[in-house]
A and B are shown apart, each in its own frame.
Chain A
Amino acid sequence: KNEVEQSPQNLTAQEGEFITINCSYSVGISALHWLQQHPGGGIVSLFMLSSGKKKHGRLIATINIQEKHSSLHITASHPRDSAVYICAVRDTGNQFYFGTGTSLTVIP
């Protein structure tokens, strides 16, 4: 069983649609990260959060510590948002656990 589960695995959306990616985890955490990976490219951190909600441009990340669940929302999606989105949690021992990623394709 993976410590971090993401859904959906694959997602195709029309440009302009509102997108939600979900992440559930089973370990006690110090922080949760949402990462973005473009094809053939590196990995960048979008958000790090340990409670509540954060917003950056069209991206919103929320976390519910009690339910061990986080969501990443993309408003007014655009083809340049096409990427793999990875949920990662850092446990209290400073180890990271990664989900397998959600592959998002936004069609013009």
Chain B
Amino acid sequence: NAGVTQTPKFRILKIGQSMTLQCAQDMNHNYMYWYRQDPGMGLKLIYYSVGAGITDKGEVPNGYNVSRSTTEYFPLRLELAAPSQTSVYFCASRGQSGGNTIYFGEGSWLTVV
């Protein structure tokens, strides 16, 4: 299993540009999450999904959109990038069972200039 795969690893965007962070997992996990990590802060939930076709907002959803058309993929879309979206983004997944641990992608470093 590859686990959780995120791309790209690094990206520089200009203000107003749009982009999609890709996330894929091959563990047939129902739960998928997008977090952002800012310096000195804990991970903040952007969006999450409990299964294909179901998504919901987290703590900091403004400026982002997601889709979950299949179990495997959970892309995060940034529309009209702003400097405040400069951050490290992590995708994560977890199985249905309460005993399942959480798996993270390697992270995507995004800078908006």
Contact = CB atoms under 8 A, between A and B. Distances in A.
A42 B105 contact: yes
A2 B98 contact: no
B50 A96 contact: no
Contacts of B53: none
Contacts, number: 49
Interface stretch (B20-28, B39-47, B77-85): B39-47
Q: Interface extent on B, as a size class?
A: 20 to 34
Q: Interface extent on A, as a size class?
A: 20 to 34
Contact of B101 (A30, A33, A99): A33
B93 to A, nearest CB: 12
Nearest to B44: A98
Contacts of A57: none
B40 A100 contact: yes
B98 A96 contact: no
Interface in B43-88: 43, 45, 48, 50
A2 B44 CA distance: 11
Interface string A26-38: 0000110101000
B6 to A, nearest CB: 9
Contacts of A45: 101-104
Given A94-B50, A96-B33, A86 B103 contact: no
A98 B43 contact: yes
B42 A101 contact: yes
Nearest to B90: A43
Nearest to B100: A48
A97 B42 CA distance: 8
Contacts of A30: 98
B14 to A, nearest CB: 24
A41 interface: yes
Nearest to A43: B104
A86 B92 CA distance: 15
Interface string B91-113: 01000001101111111000000
A44 interface: yes
Contacts of B31: 94
